[in-house]
């Protein structure tokens, strides 16, 4: 078979396979064109998840009739004034989107530059079917109908209308987040589903497009290094989600899904979140055009950095600095489900005054059943633990986390603060404090070791012993001294002094399990953090241990000066606050 040049309409349909994978892909390309046109307002309407109709209207610069015809040709674009593709500063630049869409759908473009007449051009699956004047305000309106209507093989493999609608909404949300100076609105089947105003602050735009609660539970990220600028917002570790769909990453205003950036975010939150939880972040990287390649894939959602180590380091350090600056802050809101668990006492049907408070002497005893005991004010009150006060109790106004007033269930510290009641999970809080102590020790001379009077033998399977043996030098820096003791056992000669007398068997076993699960996927620093977190968990105050008031106050004071003490190593909050207003609601005062 001889080689032949493919006809233009077939070339466009082949290109559409990469550029237009689903309705969301077509919508993304059209909205990006509207952004590049300098629009201040973009309106989107879709029907049946974008399968039947996509309409995008903008108030940008518009096109005349000749430019519309040229825009529908392959590799024709206004985004590259010269051949320097490495200096591209717009979202689009390949000149493939519109002809690719027109080859697999009915595409209609109406456009009018300011001060000129409007023009329409309609292409149905690669064939021009209509062209002529059009009435519209300055700007452009693009309508896509029956995407893949004449390509049944592609249409068949599209997902349901609800799934395609969700993908379209995600595309618009990301582009709206990247461009807070532009007003966006979106309708689906006649119902308004998204609307944001122009010239919003970036933090307000992110909160409006994710979750309003993020406005009260975020930190500001700002870092600049070697001409690269990182900015954005990130959630507190205690404000997290079960899936990573709320991680929005942008490079030079372009929404991207890059593994390097996602991995850097995960690394920054590594010791603050459980591995099945994900933070909410919106990070914006401004990189010199020569330092990043956006021409990796026709969809333009992947990028390549000239210095990936610099980018990863900036994201990790930028997020860490922002979170460290918040100290002990954690998500603080009264959980409606928790408040609803409080119930008022049932009202007695007996009217007040119908029964005396104190029993009269010699009065006949009511005939109660055998199991009943009627309490009165003469009944001795239930006894609780008390301690002699060596000094007057301090006022809660002096400390952000208040002063300890007691312990509940031998697990939770109850403290009184100026603006409410603070409840602290003693194990979770001490776990974070122990981890931060170990980190500070590692930055200095290393963690002090406490030699065991009698070395302890820990029996494990042979692969687990092999993993521990390979990390003996690293573990020694943490104060844990191990030796191989036969094929299936490890000999423990010393443990970290700050852990006290802990469960040596459990510590070594958990370390072996963690190394098996994550060792090969982690860098050295991440691996050391993992080891430190596991050791901190074993060396912390356990739930069920009775603490003195002095110990409780010492824990609160250390939390106030320790970075990231608002959450434990797994992302759970270490303390919650019940404000005065919430307490008043419980008693019907507000």
Please, what CATH class does the domain formed by 8-196 belong to?
A: alpha beta
Asked whether the beta carbons of 274 and 229 are under 8 A apart, the reply is: no
State mean pLDDT over 310-315: 91
Asked whether the beta carbons of 44 and 186 are under 8 A apart, the reply is: yes
Q: How confident is the model at residue 518 (pLDDT cuts 50, 70, 90)?
A: low
Q: How crowded is residue 211: how many other Cβ atoms within 10 Å of its Cβ?
A: 15
Q: Which residues contact 322 (CB under 8 A, 6 or more apart)?
A: 219, 220, 221, 222, 234
- Whether pLDDT at 346 is above 80: no
In this prediction the pTM is: 0.65
Alpha carbon 552 to chain centroid, angstroms: 32
pLDDT of residue 357: 41
- Whether pLDDT at 161 is above 80: yes
pLDDT one-digit tens code per residue, 173-204: 999 999 999 999 999 999 999 999 999 988 88
Asked whether the beta carbons of 226 and 553 are under 8 A apart, the reply is: no
Domain at 202-325: CATH code: 3.30.230.10
In the chain, ranges of CATH 3.30.230.10 domains: 202-325
In the chain, ranges of CATH 3.30.565.10 domains: 8-196
In the chain, ranges of CATH 3.30.1370.100 domains: 327-333+393-590
pLDDT of residue 519: 56
At the topology level of CATH, where does 327-333+393-590 sit? Ribosomal Protein S8; Chain: A, domain 1 (3.30.1370)
Of the candidate ranges 384-388, 404-408, 551-555, the one whose mean pLDDT is the lowest: 384-388
Q: How crowded is residue 559: how many other Cβ atoms within 10 Å of its Cβ?
A: 22
pLDDT one-digit tens code per residue, 218-257: 889 999 998 899 999 998 888 888 778 789 999 988 888 8
Which tokens go with 445?
């001379």
How many contiguous H segments (helices) and E segments (strands) does the chain have?
A: 17, 24
pLDDT of residue 390: 57
- Whether pLDDT at 362 is above 50: no
Kind and range of the H or E element at 141? Answer: strand 139-145
Q: Print the SS3 string covering 48-109.
A: HHHCCEEEEEECCCCCCHHHHHHHCCCCCCCCCCCCCHHHCCCCCCCCCHHHHHHCCCEEEE
Mean pLDDT for the chain? Answer: 81
Look-up of token digits 């600095």: 321
Between these two residues, 224 and 564, which has the higher pLDDT value? 224
Which SS3 state, helix, strand or coil, does residue 357 take? coil
pLDDT one-digit tens code per residue, 208-225: 888 777 878 888 999 999
Q: How confident is the model at residue 546 (pLDDT cuts 50, 70, 90)?
A: confident
């Amino acid at each position: 078979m001889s080689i032949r040049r493919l006809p233009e309409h077939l070339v466009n349909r082949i290109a559409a396979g990469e550029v237009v994978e689903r309705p969301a892909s077509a919508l993304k390309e059209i909205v990006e064109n509207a952004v590049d046109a300098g629009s201040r307002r973009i309106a989107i309407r879709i029907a049946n998840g974008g399968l039947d109709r996509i309409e995008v209207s903008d108030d940008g610069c518009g096109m005349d009739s000749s430019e519309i015809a040229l825009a529908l040709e392959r590799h024709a674009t206004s985004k590259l004034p010269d051949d320097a593709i490495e200096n591209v500063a717009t979202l689009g630049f390949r000149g493939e989107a519109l002809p690719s869409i027109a080859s697999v759908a009915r595409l209609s473009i109406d456009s009018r530059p300011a001060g000129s007449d409007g023009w329409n051009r309609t292409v149905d699956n690669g064939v021009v079917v209509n062209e002529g004047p059009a009435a519209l305000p300055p700007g452009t309106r693009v309508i896509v109908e029956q995407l893949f209507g004449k390509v049944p093989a592609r249409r068949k493999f599209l997902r349901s209308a609800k799934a395609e609608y969700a993908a379209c909404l995600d595309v618009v949300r990301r582009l709206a987040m990247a461009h807070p100076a532009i007003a966006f609105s979106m309708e689906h089947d006649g119902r308004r589903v998204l609307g944001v105003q122009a010239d919003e602050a970036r933090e307000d735009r992110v909160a409006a497009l994710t979750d309003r609660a993020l406005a009260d539970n975020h930190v500001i990220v700002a870092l600049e290094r070697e001409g690269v600028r990182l900015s954005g917002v990130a959630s507190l570790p205690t404000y997290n989600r079960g899936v990573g769909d709320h991680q929005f990453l942008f490079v030079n205003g372009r929404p991207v899904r890059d593994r390097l950036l996602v991995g850097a975010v995960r690394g920054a939150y590594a010791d603050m979140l459980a591995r099945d939880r994900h933070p909410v972040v919106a990070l914006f990287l401004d990189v010199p055009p020569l330092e990043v390649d956006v021409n990796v894939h026709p969809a333009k959602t992947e990028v390549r950095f000239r210095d990936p180590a610099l980018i990863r380091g900036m994201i990790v350090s930028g997020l860490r600095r922002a979170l460290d600056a918040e100290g002990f802050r954690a998500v603080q809101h009264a959980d409606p489900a928790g408040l609803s668990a409080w119930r008022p006492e049932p009202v007695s049907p007996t009217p007040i005054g119908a029964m005396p408070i104190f029993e009269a002497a010699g009065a006949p005893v009511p005939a109660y059943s055998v199991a009943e005991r009627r309490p009165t004010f003469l009944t001795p009150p239930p006894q609780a633990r008390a301690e002699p006060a060596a000094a007057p109790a301090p006022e809660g106004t002096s400390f952000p986390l208040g002063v300890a007033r007691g312990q509940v269930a031998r697990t939770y510290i109850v403290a009184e603060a100026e603006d409410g009641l603070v409840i602290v999970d003693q194990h979770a809080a001490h776990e974070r404090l122990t981890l931060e102590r170990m980190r500070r020790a590692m930055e200095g001379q290393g963690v002090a070791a406490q030699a065991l009077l009698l070395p302890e033998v820990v029996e494990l399977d042979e692969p687990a012993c092999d993993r521990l043996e390979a990390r003996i030098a690293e573990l020694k820096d943490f104060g844990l001294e191990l030796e191989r003791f036969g094929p299936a056992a490890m000999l423990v000669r010393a443990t970290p002094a700050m852990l006290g007398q802990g469960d040596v068997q459990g510590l070594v076993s958990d370390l072996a399990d963690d190394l098996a699960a994550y060792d090969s996927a982690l860098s050295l620093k991440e691996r050391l953090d993992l080891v430190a977190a596991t050791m901190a968990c074993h060396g912390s105050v356990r739930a069920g241990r009775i603490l003195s008031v002095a110990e409780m106050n010492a824990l609160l004071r250390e939390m106030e000066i320790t970075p990231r003490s608002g959450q434990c190593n797994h992302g759970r909050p270490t303390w919650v606050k019940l404000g005065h207003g919430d307490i008043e609601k419980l008693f019907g005062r507000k």
